[in-house]
Amino acid sequence: MSSLFDPVTVGALALSNRIVMAPLTRNRAPGGVPTALMTEYYRQRAGAGLIITEASQISAMGQGYLDTPGIYDAEQVAAWRLVTDAVHAAGGRIVIQLWHVGRISHSSLLPDGAAPVSSTARAANAKTFTRDGFVPVSTPRALHDAEIPALLADYAHAARCAMQAGFDGVEVHAANTYLIEQFLRDSINDRSGPYGGSIANRARLLLEVLQAVGGAVGFDRVGVRLSPLTTFGDSAALDSDPQALMEHVIARIAPLGLAYLHVIEGETGGARQPEGAPKLDWDALRRAFPGAWMVNNGFDRARALAAVSDGHADLVAFGRPFISNPDLVRRLRENAPLNPLRAELLYGGGAEGYTDYPALETGAAA
């Protein structure tokens, strides 16, 4: 039986344990550029077998929240290089999550006040974080089919920028009802043509993104995140048949040789079986994917240990526990108590609630 604390090779990545730091938006990158504070934040958490960075937009049009980082220009690449160097010097491995929010955005965040783009021209029932606080998202415009090649080029460019910045790989964000999932779900995707209608057509964009990104950096350095039951971004956004959708998607990506598949089991940051959502056969989906299977959502120490030892997962991602416990791996290994989270300090701000959580060794800031 494998243990949560055993090393594992995931695609091209050799990991020291199976504990993953999940992507966590913290809104501390003014102008889209990572800061020295972010370098320290990630360095502190390098004990994770793998760090997945906060979601980072692939282009200026991909941004949806204030002060989130990007990975598409030289300044961002140079700033991220300081992060990856620090994590590697501390013995860690780190990939960046590639993000396009689609319609979960506001025109004030986009170049020249442009409308967000999506699979649809319908607005989401959602809010986003701007300089004026949380405001309703803007109404999007539907991407034209002829614009898709440029979008794919943006993904490939961002992936190449990630390699230039020293990342060990990339994760394609196809979850949480952002752009790719706006194409995947029939509750959002109301278009006709090659990217709308059937499951195969709705899955086309994800598959083309993975081909573009894998072609740029190598498929064994690419992961993908899926969230078939989450309604984050729109409470009415569930697909009508998430099991069939996921079975098709996984069958199509299985031959690509991806490093891992990262699934959110249930509502992102919420119930593992959301009310009104169908039950998914997670184990059947897991058996259909030949690469490493990463699970996420509400895992504590006992559940994570069991998930790996029982073969339910190869890797377990932890989100909020990593925010308040920079030394989470040691705490899990020793079954030590966890620091409480200061939720009011999650988004924006400075070092407080970010790099000042105490480590187990001394009780002082890590």
Phi, psi for residue 94 in degrees, rounded to 5: -145, 135
Bridge-based pairing of strands 133-136 and 127-130 is antiparallel
Angle between helices 242-253 and 204-217 (to 10 degrees): 30
Which residue among 178, 195, 260, 354 is the active-site one?
178
Residues facing 95 on adjacent strands: 52, 169
- Distance between CA 204 and CA 202 in Å, rounded? 5
Within 10 A of 306 (CB to CB), how many other CB atoms are there?
14
Of 95, 80, 83, the closest CA to residue 49 belongs to 95
- Distance between CA 327 and CA 259 in Å, rounded? 25
Within 10 A of 352 (CB to CB), how many other CB atoms are there?
10
Within 10 A of 325 (CB to CB), how many other CB atoms are there?
26
178 as an active site residue: the answer is yes
Question: 17 and 5 in contact (C-beta within 8 Å)?
Answer: yes
- Indicate which residues carry an active-site annotation: 178
